[in-house]
Structures are given as structure tokens and as C-alpha cells.
Structure 1
Amino acid sequence: MIWFGTTALVGAGLRLSGPFGSADWRERLALTGPDVIPGGIWLHAASVGELTSARVLAEALAAEFPLTVTTNSLTGRALARKLGYDAALAPLDVPQAVGRFLHRIEPSVLVTVENELWPNRARMADDLGVAQVVVGARMSQRSAERWGKLPRLIRPILRRIDALSAQDPGSEERLLRLGLPASALGSRLNLKLLGPAQIHPAQDGAMRPRTVLAASTHEGEDEVVLDAFAKARAAVPGLRLILAPRHPERGDAVAALLTARGLDFARRSQGGGPEAPILLADTLGEMGDWYQAAGICITCGSYADHGGHTPWEPAAWRCAILHGPNVSNHAADYADLDAADAAEAAPDLAAALSALAQDAPRQRRMGKAARDMLLTRAGDPAPLIARILDLARGGLV
């Protein structure tokens, strides 16, 4: 969590940073900004990652009220505009800039994503009767200890929050201890999982149990996958492979590996489809099709030293997940999925593929268990959305 100590300090820093003639600085000072319909919702997200995680929420709110999005970064602002929202850089947390921005857009509700708590913004929004909501809030033990030394700063911010959805029980407990009213605490949401949780896979096709997806391979992993697949296909005739490099520009190099092994394959960039015995999926924007086609997904980045890619996208599509040992990026998630037999660590990938490809019922059980865990962890955004819309309509309760 971040905050500015004094208005004077911020002003001095700004004066040292150069002239304010640029459009971006003028926007940070709220001297310019979007012309919007008053009474809408102000959604603030720090940057691209936070805004992306809040897309489900933003779309639902924008369907009912004018939505103005602010971010702290130029890339975040660019994404917001690409998504079709009125967007600006967030006002600096000094009274003049915050006041100008609030009077410019006259929001009914301020929705803050994750950890962006600012004292002037909170106080001045409250003075104008603007309801305040925090979604996906996180509060680590270390941050809580730091905030605990500043009770006169954090308690007024938290007391002004009308509704808050935390990501985990520890954050809830620490926020309550720091001063969040118990009445403001809503059900938990993991914003980063809401997008995958909105995916609704179709019924399984006839070939799905015999189709394997190697999702987002890195250099050095294609060989591992191809060697394991060749051994598994010898035991399971008719086994198919969709090989999807993390970076499609590696397509020629991966094609060369396939050719060198004498494997019959098609390239998606040349019109091939999943009916091919081996499909080199060297395109962008079609991963959903490959997840739908494959009953087994090898999550890559885990057989090379890349920490493993997220398991939640294949979980959304009810894939049975196999992974390598390098899953540090999502270690707790993989551990929980493995324990629930929703995923399997497969140091001997050929043996794991062969066994799973011959056990369609287990594939289905694993896929269902993975999706069920995803839905539980994502949470249901409907009550929070209803609460924000109620606040926007003036329905404080």
C-alpha cells in the first residue's frame, strides 16, 4: 500500500520533476480529463494486471452505469481505452488534484482494485458522499505491521469503506484489526480467477480423451514433450498432440524438431486443425479452442526453469492437468490441485501420458475436480456487483 505523507512534499517533488505542460502531467493534476456523465462509477486499478483482473467486474458495472477508469500507468490507461472506457491517469493524492477530479466526474461510487488506499482520496470522496468499495483486497502480515504503526492514517481510510471483498482469510482478519468495519466485509473474491471462472466449456468431443495439449512450451520443452508423446503413442495408438509454443515466432524452430523426428504434423498457421495427428499451434488467440479439444493438458514452463504457467486456464476447460517439477510461480495452487487429484506431477511424462490417455473416467474426474476448485476459489461476483450497483443508486444500507 502506498500513500503520500504531506501535500507540501508531493508538491516539491513535482516541481523538481520538470514542467507540467505535458498532457500526462496535466491529467495527473486533474487539469484535464475525460468529459463524462455525472453520477457514474469511478473504477481505479493500478495498472494493466489489476485492470485485467477486474474486467469481469468492470463489464458488469459498465452495463448499468457510466464507468470512468483511472490507472497509475500509461499502459493501464491505454488498455482501459482499448476496452472502450473513459479513462485517465489517476489524480495525484493532493487535495487540489483530487478535488478537481471528483468535481469533474462526480461519481456515485469509487471502486478500488486491490491495494490502492490513498488518504486524501478517501477523505474527500467521503466528504462529497461518494460511496467507497475495495475489491480483491490484500493485506500481508508485513504490510499490516507497517500500517499498525500509523493508526491515525489507516483507520480513517478503512472506516470510510462501505464494502470490501478480500482475497483471503488472512487479509480479512488483518484489515478488521486495523479498523475496517465488520459490516463492510463481503464475501471473498479472487479477481484473477474470475475471468477463467466465466468460461463455460462445451460437451466433450469424441476425440477429447485421446488428445493431449502441451500448452505454452518454452525452448527445451518441445523435445521433452515430443519424446514423451512418441512413447505414449506407441502404447496408445491414435493419441493426438496439439503443441502450442509460448511464443508463436518459434514455430519454424519447433517445426524443424518435428521434421527431424520424422513426425507427420500440420501447422495451424498454414490451415491445419486439431484433427491432425500432431498440430503445431503456432498462432495467437486460439488457446481456448485447444483447451476444448484436449482432455489432457501439460502445463509447460514446468519442464524448463520458468516456474510453471497458471493451472487455472486448463482447469476452466475441465482438462486433466499434468505438470513438471518447476511450478514455483504457482506452487500452492499446484500442491492443492495435486492433493485433490485434479492435477498430477509427472516427472516421467511418457508414463503419465500413457496411463491417463487410457483412463477416460479419471480424466473426467480430474477435469471436474480442477474446475470445481477454480469456481470455489474465484468466488461469486454477483453479490458484490449487486452491492456496488445498490450504492450507485443511492441505496446505502
Structure 2
Amino acid sequence: MIWSGATTLLGSAFRLSAPFTGADWRERLALTGPEVIPGGIWLHAASVGELTSARVLAEALAAEFPLTVTTNSLTGRALARKLGWNAALAPLDVPQAVARFLDRVEPAVLVTVENELWPNRSRMADDLGVAQVVVGARISQRSADRWARLPALIRPMLRRIDALSAQDAGSEERLLRLGLPAKALGTRLNMKLLGPAQIHPPEDGPDRARTVLAASTHEGEDEAVLDAYAAAREQVPDLRMILAPRHPERGDAVAQVMEQRGLHFARRSRGGDLDAQVLLADTLGEMGDWYRAAGICITCGSFTDRGGHTPWEPAAWRCAILHGPSVSNHAGDYADLDGAEAAELAPDLPVALTALAQDKPRQRRMGKAARDMLLTRAGDPAPLIARILDLARGGLV
């Protein structure tokens, strides 16, 4: 009652100020918005990261029902529109804005990505018979303790949820204690891994085991990976390298490093291709081709103090992964992959690369183990998609 009353007063004040505000603020008040086909699915994701993680799910839902996407950020809205969906900034959680938005969209299902639960949105959607689903839910113990002090807010919102997919067992347990009905608990999914898990690598070609990719190198790493490649090539003369800088505009600087080492190389930006023994992949949008071609992937950003890049994209392509010690951005992931012998910490990169380049069966084992772990971690989204579609069909009856 306190939340509803306070936000009603705010909504009235916001409405009075609307003529003096910009278009984006009026969209947050649901006074303007895109033309939509009512009766479909409303998917809400906070911003670009959450929307990207939900892309596989959103595409499956959009194939069956009209999809309206809301985000809290301009960049998220821009991404949704770029992907071809009707998109708007999410209505503020004041009753007037939520009511206007629901009247326009008339959703059968509200799908919320991660932790974007709002009291008015939850209550008013429920009053209209809108099914509610949360995907990729996660809640830390600290957040759970805070919510436990506000049971009158959190418990009703959780009780209205028809289906929820959490990211981990700890989040499931904490949400159940806060009031989530056990029957609402569905398949556990890691939303951020669903995209890589949809990649289906082909069978290995004859050259893959003798091709190494240095993925997303930063300044200070090019020299290290090229020296490691030179050392490995002494033992594996037909070894090839693809070096893909994190920022392609560094292409000239990397080319200079290669020239200083007397390497014969081709630049992708100038028409070079995989026939080259050393390919400087200084373009955007082609990383999938390089992962497909390489049996070994050196994940960079980990040999300088940058925290490393995700291991899951090379894992999706069944690459054997070598990495440096700086992996704080994905420490748990790398530790698990290392423990499963799906990746290897390589403090002495020339030695590690040489050994792996000489051992094709080990390459294949590592690549398979990495992909298997990815698929297990991501989970199968099919049951959740089917559940949402069933709720949407029921909402239209």
C-alpha cells in the first residue's frame, strides 16, 4: 500500500511535467511508444547485456508470437530495434505508466530477464491475467537478506510467478525461502551461455589440428604469442597461426611486430585468407571463421593485466584452450575448465603450445571436454520456451 500510494503520487507529478520533458522520458511514462500487435509476449531486459543473453530465447518466442521488448537503457532499446523487434523504454513503476503500457501491449505473458521485479508491474499484470515468467534469475545471499526485511514487497511478487528459471542452485534456494512457489521452479539455465551453446561446429578439417588462433590480443601480447608460435613451429614445421587483435585498428602495429620477426604473413584486411601460414585477422565479424579453423585457441587478455576474455566462445567451437594467469574476469570458469583438462594455464607459453601442437589426440580431448562443459552449464532452453508458449496460448483463450 505504501509503495502503491507513493508511486501514484509520483506518477501524477511525472504526468504534469511530461509536456516539458524529452521524448525518452515520455516513453518511460508510456505516453508514447512503438506501434505493436497486442496480445503477444512482453520481454523485459534491463540493458544490452541482459538482452544479449536472452537473444536465443527471444528469437524462439518471436517466431511464434508478436514480441514487444522493453529495456531501461537507450543502448538496449537500440539493440532490440536492430534485431528487428518492437522496442521501447520500459514504463516507470508508477501505476499510471504501467496501466498505459499494459493497455497498449495487452500481453499474454510478461517475461523478465534476471532480477527486474517491480511491485506495480507485478501486481497490475496479475490483475489483468498476464502470466509472469522470470528467466536467468539470480540473487545473492546479501540481496536475499535485504529482501527478507521487506516480505510484504517480495513475497507477493514471487507468488505471482508462473515459471522461473534460475542460474544456479543457490539462487533457487534463496528464492524459494523468500516465497517462490516450488511448482514455479523450472529448468536451470545460464542465459549468457545459451548463445555459444547454439553454435554447432562441423567435423574437424585436415588442417585444424595444426592451426592455432591467438584470440583478441592486446598490446604487449602479440610478441609473446608470436614467439611461442615460432618456438612451436621448430617442432611442428607446418603449424599455422591466426592472430586476431582485440581491436582491429591495431593492425598496422601488429604487422610491424610480425615484420620485425621476419614472418611471412597475410593481412585479412588486404584480402589474406586461411591459405597463409600466418594470418593477421585485422577485421571485424569473422571470429567464427577463425575458431572453426583452429584446433588450439590462445585466449588473450590473460597474458597482460586485463582479466582475460570469456573461454566459452572457443569452447563452443571445440577448441583446446591455452590461457595466461590473468583471468579474474572469468576466474571460476577457467578454474573449472582447467580442472576438467579442457583448458590449460600456460605460464610458459612456448612450451605449452609446442606440446599441444604435437599432440593431436589431446587437442581433440580438450576441445570436446570444453564443449561438453559449456552445454552442461548452459542447460536446455527448450522446456522453458515450451512453457512460455503454452502460457501465451492460454492467455489468448
Query: Which TM bucket (shorter chain)?
Result: over 0.9
- 1:223 is matched with which residue? 223
- 1:381 is matched with which residue? 381
- 1:282 is matched with which residue? 282
- 1:347 is matched with which residue? 347
Give distance in 1, aligned partners of 2:167 and 2:277.
Answer: 42
Superposed counterparts of 1:165-314, under 5 Å: 165-314=165-314
Give distance in 2, aligned partners of 1:70 and 1:4.
Answer: 22
Q: Which amino acid is 1:384 matched to?
A: L
Give distance in 1, aligned partners of 2:20 and 2:26.
Answer: 6
> Contact (CA 8 Å) 2:11, 2:97: kept in 1 or not?
no
For the pair 1:162 / 2:168, whether they are aligned, the reply is no
Give distance in 2, aligned partners of 1:218 and 1:237.
Answer: 26
Give distance in 2, aligned partners of 1:355 and 1:275.
Answer: 24
Give distance in 1, aligned partners of 2:316 and 2:13.
Answer: 46
Q: Which amino acid is 1:392 matched to?
A: A
Structure 2, unmatched stretches of 5+, are none
Question: What's the CA shift for 1:36?
Answer: 1.5
Query: Between the two proteins, what is the percent identity of the paired residues?
Result: 84
Q: Which amino acid is 2:147 matched to?
A: W
The normalised TM-score by structure 1 is 0.96
Give distance in 1, aligned partners of 2:243 and 2:125.
Answer: 51
Question: What's the CA shift for 1:11?
Answer: 4.5
Q: Which amino acid is 1:362 matched to?
A: R
- 2:24 is matched with which residue? 24
Determine helix, strand or coil for the equivalent of 1:241: strand
Give distance in 2, aligned partners of 1:224 and 1:12.
Answer: 62
Question: Over aligned residues, Cα RMSD in angstroms?
Answer: 1.7
- 1:107 is matched with which residue? 107
Give distance in 1, aligned partners of 2:16 and 2:281.
Answer: 51
- 2:319 is matched with which residue? 319
Give distance in 1, aligned partners of 2:334 and 2:348.
Answer: 17
Determine helix, strand or coil for the equivalent of 2:394: coil
Q: 1:370 to 1:16 in 2, by over 3 A?
A: farther
Structure 1, unmatched stretches of 5+, are none
> Contact (CA 8 Å) 1:20, 1:26: kept in 2 or not?
no
> Contact (CA 8 Å) 1:4, 1:93: kept in 2 or not?
no
1:300-331 CA distance string (max 9 Å, x none): 00001110000000000000000000000000
Q: Which amino acid is 2:145 matched to?
A: E
The normalised TM-score by structure 2 is 0.96
Give distance in 2, aligned partners of 1:212 and 1:301.
Answer: 16
Give distance in 2, aligned partners of 1:47 and 1:5.
Answer: 28
Determine helix, strand or coil for the equivalent of 1:380: coil
- 2:35 is matched with which residue? 35
How many residues align? The count is 394
For the pair 1:393 / 2:396, whether they are aligned, the reply is no
Question: What's the CA shift for 1:203?
Answer: 1.0
> Contact (CA 8 Å) 1:233, 1:354: kept in 2 or not?
yes
Q: 1:13 to 1:233 in 2, by over 3 A?
A: farther
Larger mean Cα displacement after TM superposition, 137-146 or 25-34 = 25-34
Question: What's the CA shift for 1:198?
Answer: 0.3
Q: 1:174 to 1:280 in 2, by over 3 A?
A: same
Question: What's the CA shift for 1:90?
Answer: 0.3
Q: Which amino acid is 1:57 matched to?
A: L
Question: What's the CA shift for 1:54?
Answer: 0.4
1:29-50 CA distance string (max 9 Å, x none): 1111122122100000000110
> Contact (CA 8 Å) 2:307, 2:326: kept in 1 or not?
yes
Question: What's the CA shift for 1:22?
Answer: 1.8
Give distance in 2, aligned partners of 1:31 and 1:395.
Answer: 25
Q: Which amino acid is 1:196 matched to?
A: P
Give distance in 2, aligned partners of 1:114 and 1:7.
Answer: 23
